[in-house]
Structure 1
Amino acid sequence: MRNVLLVARRELQAGIVKKSFLISTAIMVAILFIAVFVLDYFANRDTSEEATQIAISAEAEPLVATLTQTAAAQGTAIETTTLGDADGEAAVLDGDAAAFVTGTPPAIAVTFKHNPDVDVIQLLTDALQSQALADEVTKLGGDPAEFTQSIAAAAPDVKVLEGEIENWGPNYLVTVVVLGLLLFGLISSGSIISQGVVEEKASRVVEILLATIRPSELFAGKVLGAGLIGLIQLAIYGAAAYGAVRITGVLDGFDIPVGPQMLAMLGWFLLGFATLGTLWGALASLVSRQEDVGAVTTPMVFAVMIPFYVAIYLVPNAPESAWTTNLSIAPVFAPFVMPIRQVFSAAVPGWQLALAIVLNVAIVPLIVWLAGTIYHRAILHTGSRMTLSEVFTKAAD
């Protein structure tokens, strides 16, 4: 155990002072701050639109009251100004008015400068139809006001059986960002351990190290060190995102537990790295050159990307399906699928969350044994790339 800790400390001390680590971490923190501040700007900026200016001739003034009521009902801001024919057309040409309405209702005409504004035309059409309907109700001896109230009240009562998921939109956005950081952390940590393994193998340093410690101790130390580097980096990202959210207050109006989600992200990272990170390092031991690392570790990239995309595309469309339930518990998939499922499901049973954690922990010894076997049998192999079939047919030293 002492040798494992020594190797882990060496990996940690060497990794956190590398320029690549410092630069990538600083860039990512800056991106997170910028993204949150941009989101806050667009979320809190004044979205009120300027009122549409409509010039009205004296003959068309009887339509103004209905036009104003119709615009208010549709949530459209308008301002009307009564002008003569010459002044009304001049206002349109000068851009002071979007349209000039002339004529006596219901026979009105509308003048535009260039292309007709579809929204203005629709607003005028609705106003004319409302006024025509009110006139017909009056002719029949009815009260237009009561008729309008009756029409407005004719709407169904909405009943929800299982309750509405509150703030699922912002919660989903936060969860996707958290999973994106988790994805980045796993890939980054996998790259760290794979590059370290190949560097030692290519420089023959590993032969010197194995003269003093066992391969299992060396590999365990490297995995532990790379995992700690990834955990530190991910904690920095989480703290930066949480700090930016608190500073801007962009989520103050929503009941979203950002802090607990960040802590949960670190826990899921540990489980994900214990399975995927160890295999990442083991597969890297199959090659002796940095140029070949990508070829052997590409499957691990897919092993991380597939659960991520399954989580963000499957779960929102089928949150209660058997596929979603099973994948949220399954090893490798659970760190990505379970957090999204918790957003879209009214309540994930506690036993399912516990089972997901237990299964992910239970598979770790098997993955560690498999990765250790690959590393032990491949780390001293030099020259051409070693295949997995060669690894498992080779007698252990």
Structure 2
Amino acid sequence: MSEQPNVQLGAWQAVSLVAGREINTKLRSKAFIITTVATLVLLIGFSLVMKFVGGGSDATVGFTQQNAVLAAPLKAAASAIGENIDTKTVSDERAGRGQVVDGSLDALVVGDGRTVRVVVKKDLPDNLRNALNVLASQVALNQQITALGGDPAQVAQAVANAKVQVEPIEQPFPYDGQQLVLGIIAGILIYMSLLLNGQMVAQGVVEEKSSRVVELLLSTIRPWQLMAGKVLGIGLVGLVQMVVIGGLGIAAALAFDVLTISVTAAVGTVVWLVVWYLLGFLMYSLVFAGLGALVSRQEDVGGVISPALMFVVVGYVIGISVLPSDPDNAFVGILSIIPVFAPTLMPIRLAMGGVPVWEQVVSVGLVVALIPALVWLAGRIYANAVMRSGARVKLKDALRAV
């Protein structure tokens, strides 16, 4: 009986061969292509919608020549209550009424400007009513000031310059609404990538285990090399997807003027997105690979990895529900440093800005320090469980040396 040749591969050669196999398989898969293209279309479509919807005014108000002096005060009054109103001067009241009928104007201010009287097609929207009520109050006040011998312009200037003086004990960070949107998008991309690519690792382990392919592979390479190659290959595919989606998505938003933040800030968001994707994927995919080796059927994958997956879900939910309304939330700040929550929470905070340098360093350092421990732990589980088919392997049994 002749002996089979024992083919010995170097550690890196074995890992790179497995990684190359995973990369070729995933890049050619229809699911990867469709997911990437669909996400890009959604992001670019969102940018276009925000350009045409977000940049418009809330209402358009017409003025005749007699009361055109009220146009500027109306825009100022609307701005003070958070509304964006366009104004338009019409040739005469008759022409203005016609534009109200055809929908070109939401309202037409008529009269001589001593009172605020408007013509509408059916009803006056509440946001426009509020702005016009502020204008009416200002007109009435100006008339009283004039009657008492004062100058309405000087009074208006004094009122405009009168502001509350705030003395903060701690200087607040000026959060930008667009940075908040960027942070939420970054969190969503990280969350989706961890869910999809992380589970892909576990499913790949089970697929090879159930088809007995793993026995052929392990006759040539060691278990930890197979696991590391699978994680590396799928991770690189996810990285390509993340850079393409994040880079082109932000480029489209900047090109369409949906984002007006600096290019440096946008690039910084993409860089941190890549960093935290890599850290989060390495951390969670190692766990998923080890846990996936415990079962032999695809339908059991969800149950075995769900406890670890809950940390990803909880971090994401907390981030998008708390940070938009309370960017300085201390509890979220603490969670974002803890390794299991950092990949979904810290990218959102970093995109928003205002994260102390020490928190950035500690959060990255803790994850980096945890990864070698996970390599050892997941490798032990994987090596002791991947060759056992049939019933689910208990975690305590997989941790024991065979």
TM range (shorter): 0.7 to 0.9
Q: Does 1:41 align with 2:52?
A: yes
The farther-off stretch of 328-337 and 317-326 is 317-326
Change over 3 Å in CA distance of 1:172–1:111 after alignment to 2: closer
1:287 aligns with 295
Distance 2:329 2:401 in 1: 45
Residue 31 (1) aligns with residue 46 (2)? no
Match of 1:362 in 2: 369
Give yes or no for contact 2:62–2:89 (8 Å, CA) kept in 1. Answer: yes
Q: 1:148 to 1:42 in 2, by over 3 A?
A: closer
Match for 1:4: what amino acid? V
Please tell me the residue identity of whatever aligns with 2:195. Answer: I
The whole-number CA distance in structure 2 between the counterparts of 1:179 and 1:304 is 11
Q: Secondary structure at the match of 2:60?
A: coil
Cα-Cα RMSD: 3.9
- The answer on whether the counterparts of 2:209 and 2:387 sit within 8 Å (CA) in structure 1 is yes
Native 8 Å contact 2:93 2:110 kept in 1: no
CA contact (8 A) 2:175 2:353 kept: no
Q: Aligned-pair distance for 1:357?
A: 1.7
Equivalent position to 1:71, from 67, 70, 74 = 74
1:219 aligns with 2:219: no
Cα 1:96–1:13 change in 2 (3 A) is closer
Q: CA deviation at 1:161?
A: 6.4
Q: Evaluate the alpha carbon distance shift between residue 199 and residue 53 of structure 1 in structure 2; reply closer, same or farther with a 3 A threshold.
A: same
- State the TM-score, normalized to the length of structure 2: 0.78
Is contact 1:171-1:256 (8 Å) kept?
no
Quickly say closer, same or farther: Cα 1:322–1:46, change in 2 above 3 A.
Answer: closer
Which structure has the larger Rg? 1
Compute the displacement of 1:381 (Å).
1.9
Q: Distance in 2 between matches of 1:300 and 1:234?
A: 22
Q: Which stretches in structure 1 are left out of the alignment for 5+ residues?
A: none
- Alignment equivalent of 1:5, drawn from 4, 9, 16: 16
Match of 1:376 in 2: 383
Closer/same/farther in 2, CA of residues 124 and 355 from structure 1, 3 Å limit = closer
| Structure 2 gap ranges (5+) | 1-10, 79-84
Q: CA contact under 8 A between 1:53 and 1:78: conserved in structure 2? A: yes
Does structure 1 conserve the Cα–Cα contact (< 8 Å) formed by 2:186 and 2:347?
no
CA distance in 2, matches of 1:231, 1:163: 37
Distance in 1, matches of 2:102 and 2:243, equals 58
More deviation in 307-316 or 214-223?
Answer: 307-316
Rounded to whole Å, the distance in 2 between the matches of 1:20 and 1:172 is: 30
- Counterpart CA distance in 1 for 2:304 and 2:15 is 25
Residue number in structure 2 paired with 1:386: 393
- CA deviations on 1:211-245 (whole Å, 9 max, x unpaired) are 23222222222222222222222222223224423
Residue in structure 2 matched with residue 396 of structure 1 by the alignment: 401
Q: 2:185 aligns with which of 167, 177, 187?
A: 177
Is residue 335 from structure 1 mapped to residue 343 from structure 2 by the alignment? yes
Give the whole-Å Cα distance in 1 for the aligned partners of 2:296 and 2:142.
85
Q: Per-residue deviation at 1:265?
A: 1.5
**Is the contact made by 1:282 and 1:374 (CA closer than 8 Å) also made in structure 2?**
yes
Aligned residue pairs: how many?
Answer: 383
Quick one: distance in 2 between partners of 1:120 and 1:264? 42
Query: Partner letter of residue 51 of structure 1?
Result: V
Matched letter for residue 14 of structure 1: T
1:342-362 per-residue CA deviation (whole Å, 9 max, x = no partner) reads 35563512x332222221111
**Any residues of structure 2 matched to 1:45-64 within 5 Å, and which?**
45-47=55-57, 49-52=59-62, 64=67
Q: Partners of 1:96 and 1:11 in 2: how far apart?
A: 58
Task: Give SS of 1:329's match.
Answer: coil
Verify: 1:263 aligned to 2:271, yes or no: yes
1:257-284 Cα offsets, whole Å, 9 max, x none, are 2222212222212211221001111111
3-state SS of paired residue (1:51):
strand
